[in-house]
Structure 1
Amino acid sequence: MKPSQFAKGFQARPDTTSSEKRTALDRLNAIDGLVQPGSTKNNEIAGRSSQPASVSAVAAISSDAAESTEHANESPAYRAWRLEHGYRPGQVIELALKAIKPSPFNPRHFYLKSSIAELAVNLAKQGQQQAIHVIPDYDNPGSYFVSDGGRRVRALKEANKETVKAIVVDLPIGIESYKLGYDLNVQRDSQTVFDNAVVWKRFLDDGHFQSQKELAEHLGLDESTVAVALSIAKLPEVVMHEMVVRTDRFGSNMAYQVGRYHSARGADSTLRLINKILSDDLSTRQVADIVKGRASPQESTKPAGRQRYAQRLEIKLEGVSVGDLKSYGDDRLELRLRGLSREKRDDILKQIEQILLLK
């Protein structure tokens, strides 16, 4: 199969979305439309994982007709939970962060530390403007699975917050919840081939599907799309991480070629190839030529400034990541900091100068 064929089935087929899935997606979109994030009219009451029944609304849906529609479509388990806790669909409540846990069917696997750190700084300054969506863990009362908002949860923890604004939604935990989350991420362009690679491999390893063909049919994708992702899943995560930070350069076709190169040359050479792809702006065809031996990556002449760091130390101020310190080889250090106040920057600069002047 030619590399140009790999991306053809990357989008889900539009005619495979079931009426149940459309209903659930419409329900989530309706909730987001009815609840206004950051409204000053909302009354906040904190919920606790041990007493979820005590939480009350920060905001509620004003339309009785909309509420009746929600009640007609809700599952028995959600209805029982809602009546027990006096919850109205669409309410934004405040829950303890410790009560929130990731869903085993989360379509996302990779979360960039830089992105989380940036959002954490924003949340620390402005507060949480958009509620996350959670699903009750009916087997463990007081805890909730994240349905939508995993990045916000991580950023709130990074910012040392203790609570999170959330909407409790009526969705199943399982393959169907994965499909809903996947579709939402595709709409936002936040789903990557690397997330697919790791999660789809896990689905097969855990026996949720017996073959990649069955997985493709269930997700409404071309089997070639699943096959490419599963080949990428053979890469070590350290290699995938280097490509996740530049998904604009590493789509499914490029990542597939990198995977082929890794199979022949190993992780260290592959990391050097990734650096060269970025520094020399190589095309997928050029990388394919390197994989086939028609061209050389010229690793021995790679500029020293592009060598991979040997050690990295993340630097935090007041619990928020502001940069890192990297060491290269035997004689090189690189310090990069951002988001500092002018006073803090000048103070750090003065301390570095003093250290360098010591004899």
Structure 2
Amino acid sequence: MKPSQFAKGFQARPDITSSEKRTALDRLNAIDGLVQEKSQTRSTLNQPSPPEVTTPGVDAAAEIPIENESAEYRAWRVEHGYRPGQVIELPLKAIKPSPFNPRHFYLKSSIAELAVNLAKQGQQQAIHVIPDYGNPGNYFVSDGGRRVRALKEANKETVKAIVIDLPIGIESYKLGYDLNVQRDSQTVFDNAVVWRRFLDESHFQSQKELAEHLGLDESTVAVALSIAKLPEVVMQEMVARTDRFGSNMAYQVGRYHTARGTDATLRLINRILSDDLSTRQVADIVKGRANTQESPKPAGRQRYAQRLEIKLDGASVGDLKSYGDDRLELRLKGLSKERRDDILRQIEQILQAK
């Protein structure tokens, strides 16, 4: 079945039952629970506990029917001798994005950082894929798009994957959306682009219908759709700093863009970051209550001009801020005594260098 045919079933149903409302997340957690249980069993036997990676083949157990599985998935399982929850190696070239991926934006810096980690440590967590039944040998990513991109950047040829039983459509989208929300990796900018596309492609007839199907307030969808009017170059600038640009701030930036255009909006974004403007201050600028050239800084408090987040081993440990032309402020936390002392020695050497 082609992706476009799957998409035809992506219509909201007002008579959906309470059991159908349960997210596919329950099913995915059950699969991951089986994999985790196997790892724990190996640990009790003092054996290594990475995911068991196999190549599908003839397996009598795979022919045993599974309750509530789709006919397409069962046929695929039997053909490949696959057991649900089994971790297998698949060629990266056979993996492709899902047309219902909840993510749209992937930061290059984040992908590059993960690629370095994967090159050193290998893939520790399997991705989840859905067979493309219309194109045998190909798979849609259900969860793990960032890992796939990083593996490609690390010049890997295969990926560890668990094949799950989901249709490409609302169920696979909702699964990915729920997972991303749990991880805090789903942004209002992803929602803006994807939800706008859902409406443009008539998967939903109105923002009200979309909101009802996702179990969200209509106002939440309305704000995201207003942000979707922004050019992608503007959204990209805010995606890089989602700690500063939540839905309310992005909404105000969208209003400013409507009145002033792209170039002025990009300058406003830079000023929001450099002057640490609040959402209310930006709203005042949008309404014309504050001059866009003024600096609404609290009296007696100097704002930093630039801020660099510092990461060690992939984890944020602090930041480096610059003030004016002659002041730097370094703040680090969570360091071991040895690493702290080593950093102090390096800073001292830099300052003493001629």
Within 5 Å, which residues of 2 pair with 1:62-101?
71-101=66-96
Cα deviation, residue 216, structure 1:
1.1
In 2, are the aligned partners of 1:257 and 1:284 still within 8 Å (CA)?
A: yes
Which residue pairs with 1:353 in the alignment? none
Cα deviation, residue 139, structure 1:
0.5
Cα deviation, residue 184, structure 1:
1.6
Q: For 1:23 and 1:243, how far apart are their aligned partners in 2?
A: 30
Which residue pairs with 1:39 in the alignment? 49
Gaps of 5+ in 2: 1-15, 40-47, 296-303, 307-354
Residue 19 (structure 1) aligned with residue 19 (structure 2): yes
Flag the 1:18–1:251 CA change in 2: closer, same or farther, 3 A. Answer: farther
Note the alpha carbon deviations across 1:173-205, whole angstroms, 9 max, x for none.
012211121112112211110000000000011
3-state DSSP class of the match of 1:72? coil
Give TM-score, length-normalised by structure 2: 0.72
Give TM-score, length-normalised by structure 1: 0.71
Cα deviation, residue 33, structure 1:
2.1
Gaps of 5+ in 1: 1-15, 46-54, 308-359
Q: Which residue of 183, 190, 194 corresponds with 2:185? A: 190
Flag the 1:132–1:41 CA change in 2: closer, same or farther, 3 A. Answer: closer
Flag the 1:129–1:285 CA change in 2: closer, same or farther, 3 A. Answer: same
Q: For 1:17 and 1:220, how far apart are their aligned partners in 2?
A: 14
Q: For 2:155 and 2:92, how far apart are their aligned partners in 1?
A: 10
In 2, are the aligned partners of 1:204 and 1:211 still within 8 Å (CA)?
A: yes
Note the alpha carbon deviations across 1:133-191, whole angstroms, 9 max, x for none.
00000011000000000000000001010000000000110122111211121122111
Cα deviation, residue 306, structure 1:
7.3
Flag the 1:43–1:197 CA change in 2: closer, same or farther, 3 A. Answer: closer
3-state DSSP class of the match of 2:141? strand
3-state DSSP class of the match of 1:135? strand
Q: For 2:51 and 2:149, how far apart are their aligned partners in 1?
A: 27
In 1, are the aligned partners of 2:53 and 2:88 still within 8 Å (CA)?
A: no
Note the alpha carbon deviations across 1:64-83, whole angstroms, 9 max, x for none.
9xx98x81021111111111
Flag the 1:254–1:268 CA change in 2: closer, same or farther, 3 A. Answer: same
* Alignment RMSD: 2.5
Percent identity between the two aligned chains: 86
Q: Which residue of 152, 157, 180 corresponds with 1:157? A: 152
Q: For 2:96 and 2:53, how far apart are their aligned partners in 1?
A: 25
Note the alpha carbon deviations across 1:11-49, whole angstroms, 9 max, x for none.
xxxxx994235362111012222214783583544xxxx
Q: Residue type of the partner of 2:173? A: Y
Q: Which residue of 266, 272, 282 corresponds with 1:271? A: 266
3-state DSSP class of the match of 2:185? coil
Which residue pairs with 1:126 in the alignment? 121
Which residue pairs with 2:301 in the alignment? none
Flag the 1:209–1:23 CA change in 2: closer, same or farther, 3 A. Answer: closer
